[in-house]
């Protein structure tokens, strides 16, 4: 209850401040929209049907890109984490590729795949892939040796050791990586769509700018923020269920 | 003899210095015996147990079980670890089924066997629970059920009750001793608790550190259900105490 009232209070203060700045700043509506203006812009986007379509397109791209990096990142992470020798060769390459912003790949991606769904999907994939891969590899390295002894004792062989022991044992740590990757990927979804797509929330931003509609621009930004928050809450819920099932006590200092 | 330990030594080399964890250990164990390895911390109990179970290789000498040299862990000899070694993501039922899964049995058969042993350790009501929902004593019982379920010849236990409170501990001792009488297993049980060893063992192997050696073997001639307060029990207990006191006297002489 206290938390909810704090959230409402925080937003109330923000909107009032916004309104006051607008009222006394005498800014041009095209440069600095009022709260009511944004609400109107939001309504307009809704009635035109643009917003729902764009959200749908973005979500589909996000789902595809993120799912591919989850599957590939975890699979490769498990294998490379298990075969440390190979990881010794791969790790330096990953360390060089990882700091390259996914956006730096965009020119190549557009050249190779053209404009459309694929650039955004690839950007999301790149953004999510490295955190998932790295958290999986390090999780495999930290698996309790007792579990491996038990597997050996009970005659469990590969690939069952990987699926029955390593994957579930590492899952809480992998879940943390998935959570981290989700946030990063969402940020880059919009960036990818601003350049490489003709629909989606990122495109909506560019479109609003080109038409000098600051109200719609702001409305789209707010939608992006709220959707990101929703996705984050969803995966947090999932994470907590996993932690609970695995018997890990959720830590008190969660960042909310 | 069923288990033959002949002139076994185990050296650990760390930073150029070698340390003898086991020095010329000889031990014969008959089928169906309950053996306690008793001694202070660092006397090589775990090293000896792990070598018997095939998790570690000895530097010198040989260990034979049923005439065959021990090279690796086998499902015929199950180890129960001090931290129980339960898989936290599996329910009690699924934990007990773990060892049966690699035996190529039908699902129903696996379930029936698991049910039987869960019943023996009195946890039928908790079949669907996860380990984190159980007390330490209950978790230990799951580990025992899981070991028994694969019908091993030998069960190795490394201070299995070390983390339990005194009362739970005694209750578990009662249970393990009852279960063992009915199941006809050979048990090698590591402990540093004199009372525990006198209560459980057919023979107590007393070990001393630096280097890890067998000092003496005490045969416990107490028939039937043991009474921790009977004079016979206390006599054996005093005997074992005396063995350790003699060792302390030696040390005092040595330091003077
Ligand atoms: N992996 C290892 N590397 C180096 N020394 C070890 C290792 N394992 C055990 N030791 C040493 O061997 C001795 C016996 O250890 P251990 O068998 O664990 O004794 P206990 O179980 O009786 O307490 C100890 O002094 C310990 O430090
Ligand atoms: Mg030990």
Tens-digit pLDDT profile for residues A173-206: 999 999 999 999 999 999 999 988 899 999 999 9
Structure tokens, B94: 């699924």
Q: Is residue B204 a contact partner of residue B197, using CB atoms and an 8 Å limit?
A: yes
> Do A105 and A9 share a structural domain?
no
Q: Could you tell me if A19 and A102 lie in one domain? A: no
The answer to whether A132 and A70 have CB atoms below 8 angstroms apart is yes
Which of chain A's residues have a Cβ under 8 Å away from the Cβ of B89? 168-169, 171, 245-246
Residues A16 and A104 in one domain: no
Say which of A153, A164, A165 has its CB closest to residue B79: A153
What's the rounded Cα separation, in Å, for the pair A82 and A141? 7
Per CB-CB distance under 8 Å, the chain B contacts of A156 are 98, 101-102
- Neighbouring residues of B171: CB distance < 8 A, sequence distance ≥ 6: B137
Checking if the pLDDT of B247 tops 50, the result is no
- For chain B, give the longest Cα–Cα distance: 67
**Residue B173 pLDDT exceeds 60:** yes
Q: Please report, rounded to a whole number, the percentage of residues in chain B having pLDDT higher than 90.
A: 68
Summarize the confidence of residues B66-76 as an average pLDDT: 94
Residue of B nearest to A161 (CA): B102
Q: Least CB-CB distance to B99: which of A154, A245, A247?
A: A154
CA of B32 from ligand 2 middle (Å) equals 23
Of A183, A207, A212, A211, nearest in space to A197 by CA? A207
- Tell the burial category of A148 from Cβ atoms under 10 Å away from its Cβ (0-12, 13-18, 19+): middle
| B28 vs A197 pLDDT, higher one | B28
**CATH number of the CATH domain containing A148:** 1.10.3720.10
- Return the pLDDT at B46: 94
Are residues A116 and A99 located together in one domain of the fold? yes
The pLDDT value given to residue B57? 93
Per-residue pLDDT at A253: 41
What integer pLDDT is reported at residue A249 of this predicted model?
58
Q: Contact at 8 Å (CB) between A175 and A242?
A: yes
Q: Are residues A51 and A3 in the same domain?
A: no
Q: In this complex, do A246 and B85 lie within 8 Å of one another by their Cβ atoms?
A: no
Backbone φ and ψ of B195, nearest 5° = -60, -40
A102 shares a domain with A177: yes
**How many Å lie between the centroid of ligand 1 and the Cα of residue B166?**
26
- pLDDT score recorded for residue A256: 41
Nearest CA to ligand 1 atom 11: B21
Give the span between the Cα atoms of A138 and B143, in whole angstroms. 28
Of residues A250 and A28, more confidence is placed in: A28
The DSSP annotation for B36-94 comes to: EEE--TTSSHHHHHHHHHTSS--SEEEEEETTEE--S--TTEEEE-TTTT--TTS-HHH
In terms of domains, do A81 and A139 share one?
A: yes
d(CA A251, CA A150): 29
Hey, what are A80's tokens?
Answer: 């490379």
List strands edge to edge, sheet with B77-80: B77-80, B154-158, B186-191, B34-38, B203-208, B213-219
Does A43 or A256 have the greater pLDDT score?
A43
A22 and A82 co-located in one domain: no
Which ligand lies nearest to the CA atom of residue B82 in the structure?
2
How far off is chain B from A238, nearest CA to CA, in Å?
Answer: 15
Segment A110-147, tens digit of pLDDT: 999 988 899 999 999 999 999 999 999 999 999 999 99
Residue A179 contacts residue A196 (beta carbons within 8 Å): no
Binding-site residues on chain B for chain A (CB distance < 8 A)? 53, 55, 72-75, 77-79, 81, 83, 85, 87-90, 98-99, 101-103, 130-132, 150
Q: Check A152 against B53: CB less than 8 A apart.
A: no
Task: Give CA–CA dist A152/A143, Å, rounded.
Answer: 14
- Locate all alpha helices (DSSP H) within chain A, ordered by sequence: 2-25, 35-48, 50-82, 84-97, 106-113, 117-141, 145-153, 160, 167-196, 201-210, 214-245
Q: What is the pLDDT of residue A93?
A: 96
Would you call B85 and A149 a contact, using CB atoms and an 8 Å cutoff?
Answer: yes
Which pair of structure tokens corresponds to residue A191?
């960036």
* Distance from the Cα of residue B175 to its chain's centroid: 14
Residues B206 and B214: beta-carbon distance below 8 Å: yes
CA distance B78 to A158: 20
Q: What is d(CA B148, CA A191) in angstroms, rounded to the nearest whole number?
A: 58
Q: Would you call B225 exposed, middle or buried from its count of C-beta atoms within 10 A (0-12, 13-18, 19+)?
A: exposed
CB contact under 8 A, A152 and B130: no
| Chain A residues inside the 8 Å CB shell of B128 | none
Cβ atoms of A217 and A225 closer than 8 Å: no
Q: Are residues A64 and A11 in the same domain?
A: no
Same domain, A15 and A114: no
Q: Report CA(B9)–ligand 2 centroid distance (Å).
A: 17
Residues A211 and A193 in one domain: yes
**Contact yes or no for A155 and B75 at CB 8 A:** yes
Nearest to B37 by CA among B231, B235, B193, B223: B193
SS3 B190: strand
Looking at the complex, report in whole angstroms how far the Cα of residue B89 sits from the nearest Cα belonging to chain A: 5
> Are residues B130 and A245, on separate chains, in Cβ contact within 8 Å?
yes
The distance of Cα A97 from the centroid of its chain, to the nearest Å, equals 19
Neighbours of B244 (CB within 10 A): 15
Per the CB < 8 Å rule, is A152 touching B81?
no
C-alpha distance from A242 to closest chain B C-alpha (Å): 9
pLDDT of residue B256: 37
Cα(B157) to centroid(ligand 2), Å: 10
Backbone torsions φ then ψ of B187, nearest 5 degrees: -125, 130
Beta carbons within 8 Å of B165's beta carbon, 6+ residues apart: none
Is it the case that residue B235 has pLDDT exceeding 90?
no
What pLDDT sits at residue B104?
87
The Cα–Cα gap between A92 and A131 comes to 15
Q: With CA atoms as reference, report the closest residue to B209 among B34, B8, B28, B44.
A: B44
Give yes or no for residue A2 having a pLDDT over 90.
no
Structural domain tally of chain A? 2
Rounded Cα gap, residues A248 and A174, in angstroms: 14
Pocket residue to mutate for ligand 1, from B21, B39, B205, B210, most atoms within 8 A of Cβ? B21
Residue B184 pLDDT > 90: no
A17 and A43 inside one domain: no
**Which domains are seen in chain B, by residue range?**
3-76+154-255 (3.40.50.300), 87-152 (no CATH)
* Cβ contact B63:B52 at 8 Å: yes
- Measured from CB, residues less than 6 Å from any atom of ligand 1 are B 12, 14, 19, 21, 39, 41-47, 212
pLDDT-derived band at B50, boundaries 50, 70, 90: very high
Cβ contact A247–B88 (<8 Å): yes
pLDDT reading at B25 higher than 60 = yes
Q: Which residue range(s) make up the domain with A26? A: 1-32
Distance A104 CA to ligand 1 centre (A): 53
Residue B251 has pLDDT above 50, yes or no: no
Is the predicted pLDDT of residue A245 greater than 80, yes or no?
Answer: no
What are the helix (H) ranges across chain B? 45-53, 92-97, 107-120, 136-149, 166-183, 194-200, 231-255
Cα of B114 from ligand 1 centre, angstroms:
35
Tens of pLDDT, residues B143-153: 999 999 999 99
Pairing relation of β-strands B17-29 and B3-14?
Answer: antiparallel
Q: What is the average per-residue pLDDT within B65-72? A: 94
Tell me the mean pLDDT in the region A82-95: 94
- Residue B254's pLDDT band (boundaries 50, 70, 90)? very low
Q: Going by CA atoms, what residue is nearest to atom 26 of ligand 1?
A: B42
- Mean pLDDT over B220-249 rounds to 79
Which numbered ligand comes closest to the C-alpha of B44? 1
In chain B, the percentage of residues whose pLDDT exceeds 70 is 96
- Residues of chain A with C-beta less than 8 angstroms from the C-beta of B74: 153, 155
Provide the pLDDT for residue A254: 43
Cβ–Cβ pairs < 8 A, chains A and B = 61
Cα separation of A59 and A186, whole Å?
10
């Amino acid at each position: 209850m206290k938390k909810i009232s704090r959230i409402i209070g925080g937003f109330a203060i923000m909107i009032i401040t916004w309104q006051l700045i607008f009222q006394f700043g005498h800014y041009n509506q095209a440069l600095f929209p009022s709260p009511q203006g944004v609400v109107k812009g939001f309504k307009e986007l809704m009635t035109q049907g643009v917003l729902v379509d764009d959200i749908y397109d973005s979500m589909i791209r996000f789902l595809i890109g993120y799912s591919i990096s989850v599957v590939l990142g975890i699979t490769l992470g498990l294998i490379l984490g298990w075969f440390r020798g190979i990881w010794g060769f791969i790790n330096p390459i990953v360390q060089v590729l990882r700091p390259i912003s996914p956006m730096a790949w965009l020119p190549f991606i557009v050249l190779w795949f053209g404009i459309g769904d694929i650039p955004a999907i690839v950007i999301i994939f790149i953004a999510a892939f490295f955190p998932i891969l790295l958290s999986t590899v390090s999780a495999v390295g930290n698996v309790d040796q007792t579990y491996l002894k038990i597997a050996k004792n009970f005659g469990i062989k590969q690939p069952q050791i990987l699926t029955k022991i390593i994957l579930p044992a590492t899952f809480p740590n992998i879940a943390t990586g998935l959570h981290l990757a989700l946030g990063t990927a969402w940020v880059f979804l919009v960036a990818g769509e601003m350049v490489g797509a003709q629909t989606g929330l990122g495109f909506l931003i560019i479109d609003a700018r080109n038409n000098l509609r600051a109200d719609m621009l702001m409305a789209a930004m707010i939608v992006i923020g709220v959707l990101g928050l929703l996705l984050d809450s969803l995966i947090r819920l999932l994470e907590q269920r996993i932690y609970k099932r695995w018997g890990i006590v959720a830590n008190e200092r969660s960042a909310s | 003899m069923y288990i033959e330990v002949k002139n076994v030594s185990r050296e650990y080399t760390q930073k150029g210095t070698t340390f003898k964890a086991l020095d010329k250990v000889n031990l014969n164990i008959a089928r169906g015996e309950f053996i306690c390895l008793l001694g202070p911390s660092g006397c090589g109990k775990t090293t000896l147990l792990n070598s018997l179970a095939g998790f570690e290789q000895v530097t010198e000498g040989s260990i034979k079980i049923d005439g065959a040299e021990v090279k690796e862990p086998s499902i015929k000899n199950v180890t129960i670890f001090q931290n129980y070694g339960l898989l936290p993501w599996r329910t009690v039922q699924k934990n007990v089924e773990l060892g049966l899964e690699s035996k190529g049995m039908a699902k129903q058969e696996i379930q029936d066997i698991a049910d039987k042993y869960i019943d023996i350790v009195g946890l039928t009501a908790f079949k669907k629970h996860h380990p984190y929902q159980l007390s330490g004593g209950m978790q230990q019982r799951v580990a025992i059920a899981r070991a028994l379920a694969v019908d091993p010849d030998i069960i190795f236990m490394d201070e299995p009750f070390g983390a339990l409170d005194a009362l739970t501990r005694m209750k578990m001792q009662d249970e393990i001793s009852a279960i063992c009488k009915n199941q006809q297993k050979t048990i090698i049980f590591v402990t540093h608790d004199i009372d525990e060893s006198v209560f459980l063992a057919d023979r107590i192997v007393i070990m001393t550190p630096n280097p890890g050696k067998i000092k003496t073997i005490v045969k416990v001639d107490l028939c039937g259900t043991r009474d921790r307060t009977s004079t016979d029990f206390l006599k054996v207990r005093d005997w074992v105490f005396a063995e350790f006191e003699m060792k302390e006297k030696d040390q005092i002489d040595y330091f003077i």
